[in-house]
């Protein structure tokens, strides 16, 4: 499974990238706003830092302007994936940009039917939002299962990018089902290392080391 980091914070990306935990990055206008940086400037810095796809989102809602913005964004770096919303105009923009040879991430997906349309339009990535479905008392993992089945049935090459990840369990369940990619905030990815038995075992080891006065260096 590929790990994308859902942030526009350079230091957080660099820390995970140094550990080999970054296969790509996803950004959106909200994350750019939080960073306090210019969208072009921060996106270029991220692209220079990581080798994998960096999703940069359009701001328009009509197909013509989305296409124009997408063509502007791909000038930033070769690893840009243009992020468009899952609307009819977004699908038009997806088809045009993919026909031009650009990566496209179709976002705000909340149904398997939408994901099927995105694959037909040639999307490189489909981003179903797990956490937001959970928020309205639906099982967000069911959409991952349905999309995986449909894509496997027909050999679609669009990668399932599980998004709106809120917990380490979301990551685990996505991996079990077979999502190609997860995108999560740095804190959630780092939380995967935590386990109370690891902490308990380490405390016991440290106590024994101290009692036995064990030294290596």
> Tens of pLDDT along 126-181?
999 999 999 999 999 999 999 999 999 999 999 999 999 999 999 999 999 999 99
> Tens of pLDDT along 25-83?
999 888 888 888 888 999 999 999 999 999 999 999 999 999 999 999 999 999 999 99
Gap between the Cα atoms of 161 and 49, Å rounded: 21
> Tens of pLDDT along 44-54?
999 999 999 99
Active site residues: 83
Gap between the Cα atoms of 21 and 2, Å rounded: 9
Q: 150 is in which domain, residue-wise?
A: 2-212
Does the residue 217 lie in any domain? no
Give residue 54's region: left, alpha or beta (phi > 0; psi -120 to 50): beta
Work out how many domains the chain is built from and give that number: 1
Sign of the dihedral defined by the CA atoms of residues 71, 120, 127, 103, in that order: negative
Does the residue 93 lie in any domain? yes
Does the residue 36 lie in any domain? yes
Task: Give the bridge partners for 84, in sequence order.
Answer: 106
CATH number of the domain enclosing 10: 3.20.20.70
Count of CB atoms situated within 10 Å of the CB of 35: 17
Gap between the Cα atoms of 165 and 152, Å rounded: 23
């Amino acid at each position: 499974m590929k790990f994308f980091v859902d942030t526009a914070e350079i230091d957080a990306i660099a820390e995970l990238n140094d550990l080999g935990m970054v296969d790509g990055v996803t950004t959106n206008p909200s994350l750019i706003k939080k960073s306090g940086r210019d969208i072009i400037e921060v996106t270029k810095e991220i692209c220079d830092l990581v080798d994998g796809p960096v999703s940069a989102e359009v701001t328009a809602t009509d197909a013509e302007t989305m296409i124009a913005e997408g063509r502007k964004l791909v000038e930033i770096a070769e690893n840009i994936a243009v992020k468009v919303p899952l609307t009819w105009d977004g699908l038009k923009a997806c088809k045009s940009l993919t026909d031009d040879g650009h990566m496209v991430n179709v976002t705000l997906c909340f149904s398997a039917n939408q994901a099927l349309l995105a694959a037909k339009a040639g999307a490189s990535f489909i981003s179903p939002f797990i956490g937001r479905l959970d928020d309205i008392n639906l099982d967000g993992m069911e959409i991952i299962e349905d999309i995986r089945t449909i894509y496997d049935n027909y050999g679609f090459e669009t990668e399932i990018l599980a998004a709106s990840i809120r917990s380490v369990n979301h990551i685990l369940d996505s991996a079990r089902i077979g999502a190609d990619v997860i995108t999560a905030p740095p804190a959630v990815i780092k939380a995967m290392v935590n386990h109370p038995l690891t902490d308990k075992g380490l405390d016991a080891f440290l106590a024994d080391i101290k009692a036995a006065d064990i030294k290596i260096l």
